[in-house]
Structure 1
Amino acid sequence: MKKRGIFASVLLLAALFLLLPGCSREAEGRQVDSIKVLQGDGQVGLPGRPFGSELVLELLDVDGVPVPGAEVRVQAARNSDLPVPAERFRADAGGVVRIPVSAGKVLGDNYLEIIPVGAENRSRSCRFVTGLEIDGGRQQGAAGSTLDRPISVRVVDADGVPVAGQPVYFGIVNAPEGGAARLSDEVAATDSSGVARTRVTLGSGTGGYEVEVKPTGPDGRLLTRGVTVEVMGLNLPNLLISAFAGLAIFIFGMHLMSDGLQKTAGEKMKTIIRLFARNRFVGLLAGAGVTAVIQSSSATTVMVIGFINAGLLNLAQSIGIIFGTNIGTTVTAQIVSFNVSTLAMPAIIAGLLLFFIPYRNCRGIGETVLGFGFLFYGMVLMSDELTRIADFPTVTRLFSHFDCTPLDGVMPFGAVIGALCIGLVVTMIIQSSSASTGIIIALGAGGLINLYTAMPLVLGANIGTTVTAQLAAIPANRVAKQAALAHTLFNVAGTLIMLVFFYVPWGATEVPVFFHIVDAITPGDAFSAIPQNVPRHIANAHTLFNVFTAVILLPFVMPLAHVCERLIPAKRKIKYTSLDPYLLENPPIALHQTVTRLRTMTRSAWSVFEKTMRDTVLNGGYDAEKREEYRKRESKIDRMQEEITAYLVQLAQRELTLPQSRMIPVLTHCANDAERLADYAELVLKEAARLAERREKFSKKSEKELRTLFDLTGRMASKVLAALEKGDEEPAGEARELGREIRQQVSRMVNAYPGNLRKGSFNVESGIIFLSLAGIFRQAAERLDNIAVRASSLTRYEWEERK
């Protein structure tokens, strides 16, 4: 089996790498359909000097995909003077062209024509302004404050001589919502240095404020059409409130969608659990499926801890499931990475309408759709707020500390580890890798991080999510602790493997092999000057990483289990707890475990009654010294009854379906009946003590009648246990028939008592004890009859739940 698993894993990986060449984007035969300006358009400069930034263009085909190697011709437009070092430029591997441009002697607006070779009709113009120098742009300040530096405009003539005494017009042409910014001067004359100034007082909104500048030249006429200068205002309290509100709505939507899917799945969860025990491959698929429903690998792993603690799974089975949880948790990232924000409000409306339809499946579907809508609405809020501050100097400086973009072809190791630690800590705090990955995708959508930085953050989130399982395993048994350790070791091992691939380049591109694969299978170029489709790249990288590590490490489930057993060795016998508190989050499974515990309790209660009756009455071996031993057995049943009742009280506080809520009082009454059955053992002890004290004995006929009742009650108990175990009404009906037979037998015994007493079959003392024992059998039968009736009710409610 191990060899077949390794062979299958290698085969899958080989197929993946063989298919990759087919995913590469060949430029041959593709023409430039459009030109996208990434940087440099609209710059101002002084005559004869280079402009501050290169003109950076991206050449795209009809599908919006970059065309590497394409050529463009560059020429100044009519009446423009813009010297460039060459007439032709070729795009790099990312379809990007970089053109250094200098200012000439012609003042005002100048235009540079960009003409794709072979697609001349797809040309475009880029604007440059000569004769100006602007200072004070790209400043950042607190909302409502006046910026530290004024916006200064220097005007010169064609020879670079300052133009004094000419008016410069200023005006705010764009501001974020709630802006209301002000200028100290809307018209200012240039001084002897050719400089005019105005100060900006920011409004209350967060984002960019655009100030339009219209200078006049030496002849007194407008030198150029308006030039825009951007400054930035930050309202930190409002930004944090909006961003965290978006995060809260996102997490709420994720949980609501998870609850709705679980309600829709209902009893099917138990079927999935039965699949767990087959083998590691089925466990992998089951773990992925359950996590895709629950939307949280942490929640699934906690559930697995509960199964182990209840004795439903062993260590090797649980490890296969844990491998699958890492794959299933990528579903959330895939969902939120698509730009379907327009569906948020319709989904919320549709979900709300479905939620109020009084049918269980409709209500579950309604919660799912409503959660879907809130998920996307929260994502939109987060992305919008982060996009507002993406270009803020303080923000870019902050994110530059852990920017993982390769330097000289190598990702900076310190930044990679730093980003990994940030992802780990954030996930430890919010206890959900799906939520962490959603935040990372929002950062990518807002332009704050690139794919290189996002992936180490994702790796950190994958490790951080294991903390939840570690906390859940603290009160659990040894095997549960081993499973939590296996989860951590697996995620750490996968991270270490992936870090190696960060430093293995793909061919001559020097792009790490893992990132090349992600870029090859995802639309858009993540490595262009302005990265494209970053959210989808992050989601696909997250999925590919988890699938890759699961395939690689799945054949090593047993060695990993042995390592965990060595690290957490056996010190005492494992104690299983069928009523694990972590199972309460899944009511169908919690109820199933309660029935299992009830069956154990009923069997134990009958065992106490049976042993007490046989040892002390039927075999005539009453021993006063063993009375305390019998009482301890009965006390154990009392504790089981208290445990079941307390568990059902906790379960009743969860959100349950109608059949589930009806099962709780039924199970409570069953536990009470089983406890009373064990209590009758104490009554048997008292009658046996009276019989031994008076040194009385029953006649052979009386003893035979008691043995008949004993046998009938034993058969009845077996049928009741079968009804609880199989969920079948047939053994429950047979148990009730035996109960009627017992009651009839006791009635005959009571009616025959006066005649037997007159015949001298037994004396008064032994007769009273005989009748008391017969009455105890009847009471025991009544308790078993109650359980049988309620076992039928449980079967009916389970059928309604499945329906």
Structure 2
Amino acid sequence: MLFRTRFGAVAILFLALSALLAGCSDRGEHTVDLVRIMQGDEQCALPGREFPREIRVELLGPQVPGLLGGKGSRAPVSGVKVLFVPVDGSDLVVTPAETISDAGGLAAAKVRAGQKTGDQYLKIIPVGFESKSVTLRLISGMQIKGDEEEYRTGTIGDNSVEVRLQKDNKPAAGVPVNFKLLATSEGATSNASILSPTVVTDERGVAKTSVKLGQKTGIYQVGIEVVDPDAGFLIRSKTIKLLGFNLWAVVIAVLGGLTLFIFGMKLMGDGIQKVAGENMKKILQFFARNGIVAVLAGTLVTAVIQSSSATTVMVIGFINAGLLTLTQAIGIIFGANVGTTVTAQIISFNLSGLALPAITLGFLITLSKKREINGWGETLLGFGLLFYGMTMMSDELRVLGDFPSFKEFFKAFDCMPAEPGSWMPLGAVLGAIGIGIAATVLIQSSSAAMGIVLALAGSGLINFYTAVPLLLGTNIGTTITAMLAAAAANRVAKQAALAHTLFNVFGVVLMLILFYVPYGPERIPVFLYFINAITPGDVFAAIPQNVERHIAMAHTFFNVTVVIVLLPFLKQFASLCNWLLPIPHDSKIKIKMLEPGLLNTPSIALKQTVTAIRKMVKDAWAMVDEAVNKQFLPGVSDKERCEALAAAEERIDEMQAEVTAYLVQITRKQLTEPQSELVPLLMHCTNDAERIADHTELILQLTSRLVKNEKKLSEAGRKDLRKMWDVLNDQAKNVINALGSDNPAMVKFALKDERKINKMADKFESAHIDRLRKGNCTMTNGVIFIEMLGELAKIGDHLSNIAERTPEIQKHYVNL
């Protein structure tokens, strides 16, 4: 019931906005301002034969400014009578000779060639708007073979162009046919050529020539002209296209463009991070206090670093390190899905002209040694590379948009309804979603996959109906990164990865439902209608307008819509993940303090290192406490407890190795100067913490000697050690607390305690020597007592060393 209510609200919102925007676009206008020839111009047919393609024109109204600016669009004009009239003596036969434009402004007719040969003309007249009439040319008496045929580049196609001439139902022999190379994909430097520029038709009325293609994939235009009045042929230049295809060149160009695109995207994100500082990433942890703020944090950070996958991987790391709860993480993931749409919005604008200037200027700026200026340079350089790579992909795919084989391939998952007003084919929709998933899993970047979708749409290989399911697939495919990152993480991190997947799957299901909620007289899916209404240009026109911007807007509003729907149920969504992937009651969530996933955020990684060192000091001090107060002072040597303390000391040694290795990995990242200076301080602190634990073993050895001596320390000696212990204990607590706060007073107290300890050690040693002289203590116990004073003093020195370095730690990485 709740789902139906929520879905109903979303549908009503789309309908209301669409109705409002539809009213603003003035679609009811019936003024014909433009007649656009969609299909059928420049066709050839033999006398008495039907031309292969029907004539199709589109009637459009005046230019309407876009709601959000831009060039705007022209609305189709329906209900207008259209006449198809042969002119200039043409004997073309048109069926029907008049028709009415449909809801999409389209009017169509089939044409049969008469007995006249040569150029024939057909005038298309919108009744009532005769001034907008257009005339197209048809060619009778000629048939061409080879137009839009595909050949390998660098080859000579046998009989690549064949012209057949016929008059009075008989082959026209002995007629000269002229062939001229008009344009090539390589421009003036092309080595393409026509082997026989002029060929006379044989007894079958056929003239053949071969064309040598260049090395570059693209269109090679050939003009065909027949001028022989005596034979009854006056055909001005008819242009045909030969399609040259170089597979390896295409693959290299597309993959090269994709590589530059991904590298530019990463470089731009890294540059922005240098400019904005690491506070952008710290937002994920420290501004995720409630759902809305978490969403905003995830959106902002993802928009900056240009990768939702990177954001979710960081979130997994934060969870595994115990820095985020599941609910906070889900909020950030929601925001990351919105933030990742910024990339598509950027690349949907035609800014390719800025690519090379941005690359040049950005490179020069990166030569600066100042971090922030260098960051601006990387941002600009990345921006240029992104658009240069996008242009490479788009240019290559745009050429392939004319290749029939590629058109047929993409028709396999074409999601456009078969007829206006009919449903989108479900099988094709699911197939497109699957392709989007596979492509994103393979590339490991939804932004890069979206770049490919935009390039395909810009080249005309896919339409808006197909692009939207593809982008839905990219949203599901991008979740694989979080799943892989969570594979070795704790249960809560796995729940967060599951939440990312469920969120995107839910969004796709919601959009699938909206695909089958029609709206408007054209019965367009309500979500697609809404996107078309708020975006400049008409993407549903016979020649789609502004397709890339429509796709980017669909990507953004899809994710925003899903966030709006699910945000009120953030806690329930977390509960669902907990139910689907429960945490056993008898298990404890394993927290990995030194999480590798945090290394890309050095500030937080250093903070985790400080936390780990604090734990080392705390654990080492607990060991010393037990050794002194439960074994040495009572004069008891418990073998079982000694073994437990030895195992704990080994664990401290392991922690020292882990912290040191982690700090070494941090140094391999881009660090600020204060961060670089902090690393050696933390290494020294780690060593001091480990040495404090080492003193446990030495104290246990003293205890063993004391027990073997079978004589306890004198009461005065034990009293002195307890006094010294109280001060040392106070120092340890101050050091531990100082590592976890920004209170400088605790550091001062710790250093003050260390001075007291040194004075007490000297004083108690002198007093003990007096007791030895008076015979109040045995020589063996006396040596043990003095050694114990030394052990406590050394522990105090190690604590003091940590305390001296703590102010710098507090300054940068404690109070975050």
Please say if residues 637 and 704 of structure 2, whose CA atoms lie closer than 8 Å, have aligned partners that are also in contact.
yes
Structure 1 position 120, deviation (Å) = 5.8
Structure 1 equivalent of residue 702 of structure 2? 687
- Aligned-pair CA distance for 1:211: 0.8
- For residues 27 and 8 of structure 1, do their structure 2 counterparts lie closer, same or farther at Cα, with a shift above 3 Å needed? closer
Q: 1:736 to 1:691 in 2, by over 3 A?
A: same
SS at match of 2:345: helix
Deviations 1:79-98 (A, max 9, x none): 65655557766544444443
The residue aligned with 2:67 is none
Note the 1:565-714 alignment, pairs <5 A. 565-571=578-584, 572-714=587-729
List per-residue Cα deviations over 1:584-606 (Å, max 9, x = no partner): 22222212211121221221112
Moved more, 212-221 or 76-85: 76-85
Q: How far does the alpha carbon of each residue in 1:434-475 deviate from its partner, in whole angstroms, 9 at most, with x for none? A: 111111111111111111111222222222222222211221
Assess if the C-alpha contact under 8 Å between 2:741 and 2:810 holds in 1.
no
What pairs up with 1:455-466 in 2 under 5 angstroms? 455-466=468-479
Distance 2:127 2:72 in 1: 18
State how far apart, in whole Å, the 2-side matches of 1:330 and 1:555 are. 22
- 1:339 maps onto 2:347 in alignment: no
* 1:170 Cα deviation after fit: 0.6
Q: Map 1:82-161 to 2 at 5 A.
A: 84=94, 91-103=101-113, 107-114=117-124, 124-147=134-157, 149-157=159-167, 159-161=168-170
Could you tell which deviates more after superposition, 237-246 or 752-761? 752-761
Q: Distance in 2 between matches of 1:775 and 1:418?
A: 76
Deviation of residue 30 (structure 1)? 7.5
Superposition pairs for residues 376-455 of structure 1, below 5 Å? 376-408=387-419, 409-455=422-468
**Structure 1 residue 208: deviation in Å?**
0.9
**SS of equivalent to 1:38:** strand
Identify if the C-alpha distance between structure 1 residues 415 and 82 changes in structure 2 by more than 3 Å, giving closer, same or farther: same
Q: Report the AA paired with residue 272 of structure 1.
A: I
Shift of 1:644: 1.0
2:179 matched residue in structure 1: 170
Q: Contact 1:68–1:95 (CA<8 Å) still a contact in 2?
A: yes
Given that 1:269 and 1:589 are in contact with CA atoms closer than 8 Å, whether structure 2 keeps it comes out as no
User: What is the 5 A alignment of 1:213-232?
Assistant: 213-219=224-230, 223-232=234-243
> What amino acid maps onto 2:219 in structure 1?
G
Taking the aligned partners of 1:759 and 1:222, their CA distance within structure 2 comes to 139
Once the two structures are superposed, residues 211-269 of structure 1 have per-residue CA deviations (whole angstroms, 9 ceiling, x without a partner) of 11011234269713211111101111111111100011111111112222333333414
CA distance in 1, matches of 2:803, 2:125: 88
**Counterpart contact for 1:291–1:328, Cα < 8 Å:** yes
Partner in structure 2 of residue 55 of structure 1: 55
User: TM-score, structure 1 length as denominator?
Assistant: 0.92
SS where residue 471 of structure 1 aligns?
A: helix
Deviation sequence 1:729-750 (CA, Å, 0-9, x none)? 4432332222222223223334
Conserved 8 A contact 1:284-1:323: yes
User: Structure 2 length normalisation: TM-score?
Assistant: 0.91
Aligned length: 798
Q: Which amino acid aligns with 1:312?
A: L
The one-character-per-residue Cα deviations of 1:480-521 (angstroms, maximum 9, x if unpaired) are 122222222222222222222222222431322222122222
Q: Residue 178 of structure 2 aligns to a residue in which SS?
A: strand
Shift of 1:659: 2.5
Deviations 1:528-573 (A, max 9, x none): 2222211112111122222222222333433433333333333422
Distance 2:72 2:640 in 1: 91
> Kindly tell me: are residues 169 and 83 of structure 1, through their superposed partners in 2, closer, same or farther at Cα, counting changes over 3 Å?
same
| Residue of structure 2 equivalent to 1:18 | 16
What are the ranges of 5 or more consecutive residues in structure 2 without an aligned counterpart? 64-70
Shift of 1:39: 2.4
CA distance in 2, matches of 1:60, 1:96: 12
Closer/same/farther in 2, CA of residues 615 and 143 from structure 1, 3 Å limit: same
Question: Which stretch shows the higher mean deviation, 513-522 or 122-131?
Answer: 122-131
Residue pair 2:268, 2:382 contacting (<8 A) in 1 also: yes
Q: CA deviation at 1:720?
A: 1.7
Q: CA deviation at 1:608?
A: 1.5
Structure 1 distance, partners of 2:262, 2:583, is 39
Q: Does the Cα contact within 8 Å between 1:30 and 1:67 map onto a contact in 2? A: no
Q: Is the 8 A contact 2:15 2:526 kept in 1?
A: no
Write the distance in 1 (CA, Å) between the matches of 2:92 and 2:310: 62
Change over 3 Å in CA distance of 1:40–1:9 after alignment to 2: closer
Task: Give distance in 1, aligned partners of 2:785 and 2:652.
Answer: 26
Q: Residues 795 and 626 of structure 1: is their aligned pair in 2 closer, same or farther, counting only changes over 3 Å?
A: closer
SS in structure 2 at match of 1:345: helix
1:161-310 aligned at under 5 Å gives the runs 161-177=170-186, 179-219=190-230, 223-269=234-280, 271-275=282-286, 277-310=288-321
Q: Which amino acid aligns with 1:288?
A: T
Cα offset for 1:125? 3.9
Partner of 1:38: 38
Partner Cα distance (1:723, 1:93) in 2: 75
Could you tell me whether the CA contact under 8 Å between 1:275 and 1:283 is conserved in 2? no
How far apart, in 2, do the equivalents of 1:528 and 1:780 lie?
81
Q: Distance in 2 between matches of 1:275 and 1:117?
A: 68
Q: What is the SS of the residue equivalent to 2:664?
A: helix
Distance 2:680 2:571 in 1: 43
Measure the CA separation in 2 of the matches of 1:361 and 1:373.
19
Q: Is the 8 A contact 1:36 1:60 kept in 2?
A: no
Q: C-alpha distance in 1, partners of 2:105/2:539? A: 12
Contact 1:259 1:294 in 2 (8 A): yes
User: For the residues of structure 2 that align with 1:428 and 1:135, how far apart are their CA atoms?
Assistant: 43
Larger mean CA deviation between 243-252 and 578-587 belongs to 578-587
Shift, 1:33, TM fit: 4.6
Partners of 2:492 and 2:183 lie apart in 1 by 62
Matched with 1:371 is 382
Give the Cα separation in 1 of the matches to 2:763 and 2:13. 80
Compared with structure 1, are the counterparts of its residues 625 and 504 closer, same or farther at alpha carbon in structure 2 (3 Å cutoff)? Answer: closer
Percent identical pairs in the alignment equals: 46
Partners of 1:162 and 1:192 within 8 A in 2: yes
Residue 779 of structure 2 is aligned with which of 764, 784, 797?
764
Bigger Cα displacement from structure 2, 463-472 vs 382-391: 463-472
**8 Å Cα contact 2:48/2:112 also seen in 1:** yes
Matched, 1:553 2:551: no
Aligned to 1:322: 333
**Does structure 1 residue 738 correspond to structure 2 residue 748?**
no
1:425: how far off?
Answer: 1.4
Hey, what's the Cα distance between the residues in 2 that align with 1:535 and 1:152?
A: 39
Q: Quickly say closer, same or farther: Cα 1:194–1:12, change in 2 above 3 A.
A: closer
1:673-700 Cα offsets, whole Å, 9 max, x none, are: 1111111111111122222222333344
Q: Compared with structure 1, are the counterparts of its residues 259 and 690 closer, same or farther at alpha carbon in structure 2 (3 Å cutoff)?
A: same
In structure 2, do the counterparts of structure 1 residues 212 and 65 end up closer, same or farther at CA, with 3 Å as the change threshold?
A: same
Please state how far the C-alpha of 1:767 moved relative to its aligned partner.
Answer: 2.4
More displaced stretch, 558-567 vs 247-256: 558-567
* Counterpart Cα distance in 1 of 2:624 and 2:808: 25
Name the aligned partner's letter for residue 16 of structure 2.
Answer: L
Give the Å deviation of 1:612: 1.8
- The amino acid of 1:429's aligned partner reads L
TM-fit CA distance, 1:174: 0.9
Following the alignment from structure 1 to structure 2, what is the Cα–Cα distance between the partners of residues 662 and 152? 77
- Between stretches 784-793 and 565-574, larger displacement belongs to 565-574
Q: Tell me how large the CA RMSD over aligned residues is.
A: 2.9
Partner Cα separation in structure 2 for residue 714 and residue 403 of structure 1:
75
Q: Which residue does 2:552 correspond to in 1?
A: 539
CA distance in 2, matches of 1:82, 1:220: 20
The Cα of 1:141 is off from its aligned counterpart by 1.3
Task: Show the counterpart of 2:74.
Answer: 66
Letter in 1 for 2:251: L
1:13 Cα shift?
Answer: 6.5
Q: Secondary structure at the match of 1:27?
A: coil
